[in-house]
Structure 1
């Protein structure tokens, strides 16, 4: 048996947290999934058995998952009971003082962070069996950590993310102009807030856009899909798809239904 649900954040956290999701299984049937880049950082709390990575290493009990430009396979090792906080692209920066680029491509165990309040929250979540109460604990913990952004930079990054979401392909130069920053300053500030540099992030969002179109128009011609998403040509789309998912678009649709975490 498997249960899965989304929970929306409170209004005060909604500008920074996209949603929470909870997955529970009884452990009878194994669970496996290929994790692909979504454009979001996440904070994950395992309250059941840990998940196993493709290299046979176990995920930490509770950890922060940074932006990623590759895929990995996960498999359950028993009962799954996990709560995941999904941040908006720049949202995690509101709660942590370090540059988000420090989490890029890795899972950082909360136990390894010198952060007493976060470690205390981790322990309380682990022992709280009621999902609604666990979400309330997370919300309370995040609100207590909510820092005041540099308002100018927050507005800049928000405007840039909006432009990336609306336009199929934006040059880094044009994005730096939207942010009213020099090319070098823009790269530094964007990477600090989002956790991936602008070039890498726009690649991820272009891939997520392709997934969203396939999700809604599964019979679209691949050449048309490449054009609609801003790829140079069909080989470019296929190369990027394989880089992010391990599959060509047709192979991907053969093994699972396309779904965009970012645009859905």
Structure 2
């Protein structure tokens, strides 16, 4: 497989977490589980090959998508096509969705839609440009050029939402949403609605996903696994709660995840 990661320019770094080009990835399995990480994504498929979302239980195709699509923030894992003939994935930082699409990100939570439904013909024109035989870097530059005018400066995102996200990300133990809301100057109800508008899910759901991804990182970096230690390090008060959350987000218990996971923590081959 050919893979390139782009260094995000300073003008986009507060919105974009990563931009990745993959080519000639043909795994043995047809499907991957994509586990929630709190981000939204735009995916450019450059060979004209349709991709699919499969039913998590029956593995039957339930939705197809092509060319370029938008994936909202996930509350649960989805089962997707695994192969990547030639593809670019743009990963956006939590909270940056509203400055990008200019409407509540919650409208697209747990959804994947064709990107032109949100961005119109301009993203289809960009897709056509990206299919030309140019280098990965030239493709990255074209995406950045298209993205820059899409974003609207948003002081609320820069200040309040950044503060809330940073507080949640840096708190592995139980967090008081009421206290966090108070610090932002809003009532708890107002704060939750604003958070959903920008991030796509509630602060509590986001905190659970952050803790889950801390577990995935811990599993990836430790040769010897202590489930009790990992669950405690990631803010769980007991191992049963940790396993319940893990099962909810991945459809697997932790030991099964370790057995099945491939090269990337949030992508689990369906065997």
TM superposition score normalised by structure 2: 0.86
What corresponds to 2:46 in structure 1? 47
- In structure 1, stretches of 5+ residues that fail to align are none
What 5-or-longer segments of structure 2 have no aligned partner? 55-59, 267-271
Partner of 1:179: 184
State whether residues 39 and 89 of structure 1, in contact with CA within 8 Å, keep that contact through their aligned partners in structure 2: yes
Name the structure 2 match of 1:156: 160
Q: Which runs of 4+ in 1 moved over 6 A?
A: none
Distance change >3 Å, CA 166–CA 176, structure 1 → 2: same
In 1, Cα distance between equivalents of 2:7 and 2:254 = 31
Alpha-carbon distance, 1:165 to partner? 1.6
Identify if the C-alpha distance between structure 1 residues 260 and 29 changes in structure 2 by more than 3 Å, giving closer, same or farther: closer
Partner of residue 68, structure 2: 62
Q: 1:77-226 maps to which residues of 2 (within 5 A)? A: 80-113=85-118, 115-127=120-132, 129-149=134-154, 151-169=155-173, 170-226=175-231
Deviates more, 1:109-118 or 1:95-104: 109-118
Deviation, 1:199, is: 1.4
SS in 2 for 1:160: helix
Q: CA deviation at 1:43?
A: 0.6
Alpha-carbon contact 1:30-1:75 (below 8 Å) kept: no
Greater relative contact order (CA < 8 Å, ≥ 6 in sequence): 2
C-alpha distance in structure 1 between counterparts of 2:177 and 2:104, whole Å: 20
Report the counterpart of residue 7 of structure 2 in structure 1: 8
| TM-superposed deviation, 1:200 | 1.2
Identify the range of structure 1 (117-126 vs 252-261) with the bigger mean alpha-carbon deviation: 252-261
Counterpart Cα distance in 2 of 1:216 and 1:114: 38
1:244 aligned to which of 245, 249, 257? 249
Alignment: residue pair count: 258
Q: Distance in 1 between matches of 2:219 and 2:118?
A: 39
TM-score (norm. length: structure 1): 0.88
Question: Does structure 2 retain, via aligned residues, the 8 Å contact 1:68–1:105?
Answer: yes
* Contact 2:3 2:22 survives alignment (8 Å): yes
- Distance (Å, rounded) in 2 between the aligned partners of 1:231 and 1:125: 44
